[in-house]
Amino acid sequence: RYTLAGTTFTRQLVVSKPDEVIALRLRADRPGALAFTASLSRKECAAIAADGQFLRMQGQLPFNAPAGVPGEGVKYIALLGVSARGGTVTLGADGWSVVGADEAVLMVSAGTDLFQERFEALASQRLKKALARPFDAILADAAADHGSFMNRCSISLPAGPASHLPTPERLRAAMTAPDPALAALYFQFGRHLMVSGSRPDSQLPTNLQGIWAEEYDTPWRGDFHSNINVQMNYWPAEVTNLSDCHLPLLRFIQGVAREGRKTAKAYYNAPGWMANHSQNPWYDTAPSCLPACVGPTCGAWLVQHIATHYAFTLDKAFLQEFYPIMRGASEFCQAALVEDPQTGLLVTAPSNSPENSYLCSDANGKKKPSYVCVGATFDLQIMRDLFLRTAEAARILGIDAEFAKGLDATRARLRPTRLSAAGRIMEWQEDFEEADIHHRHASHLWGLFPGTEISPQTPELFEGARRSLERRGDASTGWSMAWKMLFWARLGDGDRANRLLGALLRPATASGVNYSEGGGSYANLFCAHPPFQIDGNFGGCAAIAEMLIQSHEVAPDGGPIIRLLPALPSAWPDGSARGLRARGDFTVNIAWKDGQLLDFMIRSPKPRRVQVIAHGRTVEVQAAGIDS
């Protein structure tokens, strides 16, 4: 809203999922005061013309492939339509012209041929339908639709002295004055990004920038990086009650598995499927960047999301559908393992700890970094989890009994996670000297999060993980600090996790690539790698949830253990959370005061018993039925 020459102008913008349009309403409080022109533009690969009804921008992107490889670039279309109250509206070659109107609504509909052959007709149909509806109806339907996801879960934390300020000022103020409610805002902002960018029917999962990629050539090509980044994008999905927003990634894994069979055969002559670290909308699985993709386990890590979705939902039909994907990844990993002649245990070769390196000496005794190794801890932790979850799935479904036994036997022969002489988790099978002790990746701690093999039930490894984190330090890229928040939450240290949240919220302005430090938040709360990379937003959201509830441990009866307030920071003495989710298909509400649990409610589709731990005390409670 602004006032010019005594006239107040108002703009309202909505991106509507129900109507699949972007709608902008312009109003003036003086009759006939609206006058403007509107067009569409793109610097390249675009042709713009009026077609009598709409302004049309269409084109085809270049197809970048080695010479002789057949194919063509993606075709797209964007249509701009206008409706107005009062005045005159004309459409010409330069776009729309509105003169003397009281109110006008501009709408854009768009599409590509990537997954829809009829994309042009569909875009036109959507725009015609939306233009026939009142703007207020479009706005109300969009708000109700978005709220149906957002209102499932919320947290409340105490306001700080700057909580009333605009976000950019609030970020600066939080550097010197506590603002717990900013954490609650950041939590919901992460959920908002997921709801906006990954709907149940979305054709692709969120990539490195989500749907907020304004560049023609996005950083790292806007790929799906599966050595942590695309996985981190979906860490909040289940625990923050957005399980159906997880589905685009799960469907994507099906496509990756299809292409991954070719890669497993071509590079390993192995059955099943595998993926290297970089995927795209065509499910590419071939090797790309040597420091990131020497190891064979990125696909196996993706499979963890299948197991996690089942653990939270207990959807047996889903498990039945996706079990072949789990089995295929396990078949490949079994075939890719080799026996270590020194120990007789199974390891991966070649292998690496993603993007990190150790120092070795060349023939002249000069130290130099190397990425390639045998049996990186990262690989073996992921494979242990894969074999465990696949065998569990087979037994739940009552199938593949012999295959499950074989996975158990292979899992027992994997070289275990070990401690170095300094008591830290070893990243490689030998206690190599690290090239960068503060490296952004901490892949050898995969078993702490998102894995589960490092826990209070393994006290030596638990302490080893703590020592490893102390050596790595806090300062890093945005997403790395979010991952460290999750590590510290799993270690039960809420104050350290909250300290990292403060670092993640540190105001950032740099947009150039920085691989070591400089992470923080831009003025709009987007995470700074830098540059902008959305995984840090999702990782930070998941970490806040992990500070309040954890359910990855297993009780003697095989059900989950629900830990309430496992890593509550002292800076959050009072608060509440509603609609958090736990493994076992539980929904949880909690409230606390003066740092102590005040009350909680646990619901499940049917009443049943569940083990709960809070403040070191273990109780077994009856979970109420959803309707009770």
The torsion angle over the Cα atoms of residues 129, 134, 138 and 139, rounded to 10 degrees, is: 160
Token pair 């057949």 is found at 70
Which residue in 23, 24, 35 sits closest to 98, CA to CA?
Answer: 35
Whole-angstrom Cα distance, residue 7 to residue 566? 55
Phi, psi angle pair for 569, to nearest 5°: -70, 150
Rg of the chain over all Cα atoms, to the nearest angstrom = 26
Question: 528 near 520, Cβ under 8 Å?
Answer: yes
- DSSP-derived 3-state class of residue 30: coil
- DSSP-derived 3-state class of residue 619: strand
What angle, 0 to 180 degrees and rounded to 10, lies between the N-to-C axes of helices 459-472 and 478-490?
150
Neighbours of 528 (CB within 10 A): 24
Whole-angstrom Cα distance, residue 22 to residue 111? 12
**Cα angle value 242/243/249 (rounded, 5°):** 105
- Reported as type and span, the H/E element at residue 558 is none
Which residue in 507, 519, 433 sits closest to 473, CA to CA?
Answer: 519
Instruction: Take residue 431 and report the two structure tokens written for it.
Output: 């206690």
List beta partners, residue 105: 25, 83
Neighbours of 290 (CB within 10 A): 11
pLDDT confidence of residue 220: 85
- Model confidence, pTM: 0.96
Whole-angstrom Cα distance, residue 57 to residue 77? 6
The number of helices, as runs of H, and strands, as runs of E, in the chain is 16, 27
Which residue in 531, 465, 536 sits closest to 500, CA to CA?
Answer: 536
pLDDT under 50: residue ranges of the chain: 627-628
Neighbours of 344 (CB within 10 A): 9
Ordered by where they begin, the domains of the chain are 2-150 (2.70.98.50), 243-473 (1.50.10.10), 561-625 (2.60.40.1180)
- DSSP-derived 3-state class of residue 465: helix
**Cα angle value 138/140/142 (rounded, 5°):** 65
Would you give the distance in Å from CA 296 to the centre of its chain?
A: 21
- Reported as type and span, the H/E element at residue 166 is none
DSSP string over 230-243: HHHHTTHHHHTT-G
Whole-angstrom Cα distance, residue 27 to residue 29? 7
Question: Strand 608-614 to strand 560-564: parallel, antiparallel, or no bridges (unpaired)?
Answer: parallel
Residue-wise pLDDT tens digits, 337-394: 999 999 999 999 999 999 999 999 888 889 999 989 999 999 999 999 999 999 999 9
DSSP string over 178-229: --HHHHHHHHHHHHHHHHHH--TT-SS---SSTT---SSS-GGGG-EETTTH
44-74 residues labelled b (16+ CB within 10 A) or e (exposed): eeeebebeeebbbbbbeeeeeeeeeeeeeee
- DSSP letter for 245, please: G
Token pair 């510290």 is found at 488
Question: 147 near 155, Cβ under 8 Å?
Answer: no
Which residue in 420, 347, 421 sits closest to 378, CA to CA?
Answer: 347
Question: 112 near 76, Cβ under 8 Å?
Answer: yes
pLDDT confidence of residue 626: 66
Whole-angstrom Cα distance, residue 185 to residue 169? 14
List beta partners, residue 425: 419
**Cα angle value 337/341/343 (rounded, 5°):** 90
- DSSP letter for 526, please: P
